[in-house]
Amino acid sequence: MTVDAALTSFLDWLAAERRASPATITAYRHDIATFLGFLTRHLGAAPDRAALGALTAADFRAWLAERAAEGVTNATRARGLAALRSFYRFLARNGGPDCPAIRLIATPRARVPAPRALSRIDAETLAAEAGTLADEPWIAARDAALVLLLYGCGLRAAEALGLTRRDAPLPGGSASLRVRGKGSKERDVPVLPVVREAIGDYIRLCPHPLAPDAPLFRGVRGGPLNDRLLRLALARARAALGLPDHASPHALRHSFATHLLQAGADLRAIQELLGHASLSTTQRYTAVDEAQVMAVWQRAHPRAAGTG
C-alpha cells in the first residue's frame, strides 16, 4: 500500500471507527499532507512507507521548526503533531511502519491567553442593569438572577443553567450552593444575599411550573434555558449598556476571580471557589492582575511616557 493509500485508509478509519468530525478529518488531512510535502523537500523525493519508518527525531523537529518559521502557532503545530502520532499508530497496527522517533518529540505548548475580565465598573453596571432590559418582568428577573450568579458566585454558564429548583439558594438562607462542575466534581460556593434576593424574585415571577427536580432557569416557552439563549441575552445587554465585546457569560466568571484577587483573596481559596482541579489554572488570574497594574502604571506614572 502506498503512503497516499495509507493516508486515505487512515482518514476513512477516523470517520468510521473514531467518528471524528468532518472538521477534524479536514485538519488531519491538511496536517499530514503538509508533513509529506515537507519530507519530499527534506529528503529529496516523495517518501515511501520505509522512509516514514526511518525518520529520526531531528526530521520531525525540522518540520516543526519550518512550520514555526512560517508563523504557524504552537496550538496548530501541536495539532499537526497529534495528527502524525495518530497516523503512525494506525500504520503500526496495519502492517507498519512504526517510527519510535516520533514518540521522542515534545508537543509544542500552546500559550494560554490570560482570561479577559470586565472592569469593576462594567461588571457592576451589568449586575445592576441586567434586570431592566427585558420587556417581560419575569424574563428581566431571570436575566438579573443569572448575571448575579455568574458574577457573584463565579459559576460557569453550564453550572448555572444546570441548577434545579431544589438547588436554588433562597432569601433568608445561609447554606452554600452545591455546584456540580467539570467531571461531576462538586464544590460548595457561598451565596451573597443580593444573589438570593434576585433568585427569589425570579422564582416568584416565573410563569412556568418549577418542580423541585426540574431546571431552575426557563426560556420563554417554558423549556430549559440553554447556553445560546443566555449568550443572546448577554449580547443584548452588552449593546444596550455599551459594554466591551468580551462581556460574555464566561467573562463574568473571570471577573469574579479577578476582582477577588485584586481585593486580596488567597489564590487557593479562589481555586476552590472556581472548582479548578489545578492551581496552575487559577494562576492565570495573576497575569490578569499584573497586566492591569501595568496598565494603570502606564497611564498614571509621570515617567512612564518618558517625560518629566
pLDDT digits (tens, 9 = 90+) for 58-117: 999 999 999 999 988 888 898 999 999 999 999 999 988 889 999 989 888 766 565 678
Q: pLDDT digits over 262-298, tens only?
A: 777 777 777 778 877 666 656 666 555 555 545 544 5
pTM: 0.56
Q: What is the pLDDT confidence band of residue 240, given thresholds at 50, 70 and 90?
A: confident
Q: Could you tell me if residue 66 is left (phi over 0), alpha (psi between -120 and 50 degrees) or otherwise beta?
A: alpha
Q: Is the pLDDT reported for residue 200 higher than 80?
A: yes
> Which is more confidently placed, 16 or 270?
16
Q: Which pLDDT does position 283 carry in this prediction?
A: 63
Q: If pLDDT is split at 50, 70 and 90, which confidence band does 184 have?
A: confident
Query: Which amino acid, one-letter code, is at 256?
Result: F
Confidence (pLDDT) at 308: 41
pLDDT of 55: 94
Q: So what's the pLDDT on residue 296?
A: 47
Once rounded to an integer, what is the mean pLDDT over residues 130-155? Answer: 90
Choice among 231-235, 242-246, 289-293 with the minimum mean pLDDT: 289-293
Q: Is the pLDDT of residue 212 over 90?
A: yes
pLDDT score recorded for residue 285: 62
Q: What is the pLDDT of residue 96?
A: 80
Q: Which has more confidence, 132 or 281?
A: 132
Residue 237 pLDDT exceeds 80: yes
pLDDT at 266: 72
Which residues are annotated as catalytic?
156, 182, 250, 253, 276, 285
Q: pLDDT-based confidence at 6, cuts 50/70/90?
A: very high
pLDDT at 147: 93
Task: Kindly tell me if the per-residue pLDDT of 299 is higher than 70.
Answer: no
pLDDT at 306 over 60: no
Give the rounded percent of residues in the chain with a pLDDT score beyond 70. 88
Residue % of the chain over a pLDDT of 90: 44
Q: Which residues contact 17 (CB under 8 A, 6 or more apart)?
A: none
Q: How confident is the model at residue 307 (pLDDT cuts 50, 70, 90)?
A: very low
Average pLDDT estimate for 23-39? 93
